[in-house]
Amino acid sequence: MPLLTLRTVSLAYGHKPLLAGVDFQIDAGERVCLVGRNGTGKSTLFRVISGIAEPDDGELWRRDTLRVSHLEQEVPADSDETVFELVAGGLGELGRLLAAYHNAVHRAGGAGAAALHELSELQHRIEILDGWNIEQKVETALSRLGLPADARIADCSGGMRRRALLARALVSDPDLLLLDEPTNHMDIAAITWLEEFLLGYNGALMFITHDRTFLRNLATRIVELDRGVLTSFPGDYGQYLRKKDELLEVEARANARFDRKLAENEAWIRQGIKARRTRNEGRVKALVAMRRARRERIERDGTVSLDVDSGELSGKLVADLQNVSFSYGEQCILRDFSTRILRGDRVGIMGPNGSGKSTLLRLILGELEPDAGRVVPGTRLQTAYFDQHRAQLDVERSVRDNISGGSDHVNVRGRPRHVISYLKDFLFPPERVDSPVSSLSGGERNRLLLARLFTQPANMLVLDEPTNDLDVDTLELLEELLTDYDGTLLLVSHDRTFLDNVVTSTIVFEGEGRVAEYVGGYDDWLRQRRPAPVPAAAPGPKPARRENGSGTAAAAGKPVKLSYKEKRELEGLPARIESLEHEEAELAGRVGEAGFYRQERDVIADTLARLDRIRDELQHAYRRWEQLESRPA
């Protein structure tokens, strides 16, 4: 059943059409990912759907009583507002009353008559609006997302602020949840939690993301916004990529045919009119129409051109950390950590927000001194550092000045290039080069910082969260560049696909100053990581000695042989696993079909519940097979 429909909706800012007569529908229970280049209008479409922006033309239909919540891309700035106040703000006037009551309760202890009178007044107004049941929704949202109600927003990390905004979006129990880059500022643990939460969410979901793993795990349909046109791609991300390549190839052939015919007509008109006047007039009119169509054709934006000068070779040793320890006050960041980084290594650094990843980079670069141990730097190092906070950009100066310092030329690979030509490689049109950096979007600022970074020769790249706000096309080009880069790379990232595609080893912060090294990327770390330690059992009576078949006690630690029943169980497990896998594939295919979420709600719920049960049974069957296989027959 449709929740919302757009019919021939158009919207333009200036000369650029962001939405050009788009048609779109979202049904109950769908999880739709909206993809497209930075600046194509994805956030604008969300603003139209949520009612913040009005279209220039077309019709927007919403189901009666439809509740829409919108999580915007930017996190809240520093403020004295508490998490409770921010979340309750999602309920409008009633939310503000609840926040005021929550604060008044904290002030009332030991306070005078005026505070108690204020508390009584707020309580009375909330009762009139039947607000106590709504307050429970706020408390539930805070609990589900693990948020401290009384913490100040100014004291919260970016990930915590992101969770608070999500709670604000969820507290009104929306039928349609719009999430704009929900994984920005979140660490891997928080992103994984968010995936699991959204997989169990009952309402419809529409989201924008550059995180390809997040996209693959969640989306039941992909919709692309390209040059003002929306195109729907049922199926998974791999199917979208294949179908998109096919459509671009068809478009390129059609444009080539059109351009060839236009060139033939242009040559004819230059030769003069030789045939009958009436026939010529028709051809002239056709040529005028073709010229107009060519002018109105919106070309696909070019791709970012990335290139980095790896400079001269560094020494073989890049950095040697020997028993390094470092703390901020009582917080231990590193405890007795040793590692050696050699020329050509591509090292990923992972860990929760605030665990010390950027601190480790600063220790390696010599910007911080360790509390204990020593850091031995390599020789002939030329380092380029990408700062996740983009502090290297002067937001008051123009795009041009941030690259060239006011000059018209910039040196790239030892050769001068005009700054406008160089910035075109990073998709900055000439009319934007004199715009202040403060007017740029997050993705544009990241591209500008990359452009600035790649003007200098560097045999060591240090990239701290370079993927935030970049569109998928630019991400993939950056991946290719880093894969081919022959210098040393240190990369901090929460993008799991990016880590898998780029790094050859990982350094992982595991808490309380423990840091471990693993071979490979994120998926390799998942396979290699050590299980959490099992708490020691409380002392109790010793278990009875188990007798084996010959009447003697089984030797301590010796594997117990399989019983007859267990042997039969082991023989039947492969067939059971095969059957479960077959049913899982069948149900997953059904869920991926375009019309799945147009069925009755009970049918959808039962299918998804059965799919979850099968996956749990498969996990149990795999574990049981491993247990039985490891014991002697």
The answer to whether residues 506 and 594 belong to one domain is no
More confident residue, 89 or 61: 61
The answer to whether residues 387 and 505 belong to one domain is yes
The answer to whether residues 511 and 569 belong to one domain is no
The answer to whether 140 and 187 have CB atoms below 8 angstroms apart is no
Within 13 A of 110's CA, how many CA atoms are on the CB side? Answer: 0
The residue count for the chain: 633
Examine residue 221 and state whether it is found in any structural domain, yes or no: no
Torsion of CA 264, 268, 270, 272, to 10 degrees: 180
> Of 29, 23, 204, 63, whose CA–CA distance to 596 is shortest?
29
Helices (H) and strands (E) in the chain, counts: 19, 20
Angle value at C-alpha 525, between 523 and 529, nearest 5 degrees = 135
pLDDT tens, position by position, 174-204? 889 999 988 887 888 888 888 888 888 888 9
The per-residue pLDDT for 222 is: 92
Percent of the chain at pLDDT above 70? 76
Residue 55 tokens read as 């279209």
Examine residue 201 and state whether it is found in any structural domain, yes or no: no
Domain of 396, CATH number, reads 3.40.50.300
Helix, coil or strand: residue 299: coil
Residue 533 reports pLDDT greater than 60:
no
Angle value at C-alpha 427, between 460 and 308, nearest 5 degrees = 20
The answer to whether 235 and 592 have CB atoms below 8 angstroms apart is yes
Structural domain including 94 reads: 81-160
Average pLDDT score over residue span 361-365: 92
Residue 549 reports pLDDT greater than 60:
no
pLDDT tens, position by position, 149-183? 888 888 877 677 878 888 888 887 788 999 998 88
Examine residue 355 and state whether it is found in any structural domain, yes or no: yes
Examine residue 96 and state whether it is found in any structural domain, yes or no: yes
The per-residue pLDDT for 550 is: 39
Distance set, CA 21 to CA 35, 153, 231, 316 (Å)? 18, 40, 12, 58
The answer to whether residues 86 and 148 belong to one domain is yes
Residue 542 reports pLDDT greater than 50:
no
How many domains, the chain? 3
pLDDT tens, position by position, 205-236? 999 998 889 999 999 899 999 888 888 888 77
More confident residue, 483 or 349: 349
pLDDT tens, position by position, 31-81? 999 998 877 888 889 999 988 889 989 999 988 888 898 888 776 677 778
What is d(CA 121, CA 124) in angstroms, rounded to the nearest whole number? 5
Domain termination site, one of 111, 142, 160: 160
Examine residue 301 and state whether it is found in any structural domain, yes or no: no
Residue 84 reports pLDDT greater than 80:
yes
What is d(CA 382, CA 296) in angstroms, rounded to the nearest whole number? 47
The answer to whether residues 604 and 518 belong to one domain is no
What is d(CA 484, CA 306) in angstroms, rounded to the nearest whole number? 11
Angle between helices 601-629 and 564-592 (to 10 degrees): 150
pLDDT tens, position by position, 272-305? 655 445 456 666 677 667 666 666 555 555 555 5
Average pLDDT score over residue span 455-466: 86
Domain of 608, CATH number, reads 1.10.287.380
The answer to whether 472 and 454 have CB atoms below 8 angstroms apart is no
pLDDT tens, position by position, 409-419? 888 777 888 88
Listing DSSP states for 78-131 in one string gives S-S-BHHHHHHGGGTHHHHHHHHHHHHHHHHTT--HHHHHHHHHHHHHHHHTT-
Average pLDDT score over residue span 82-94: 77
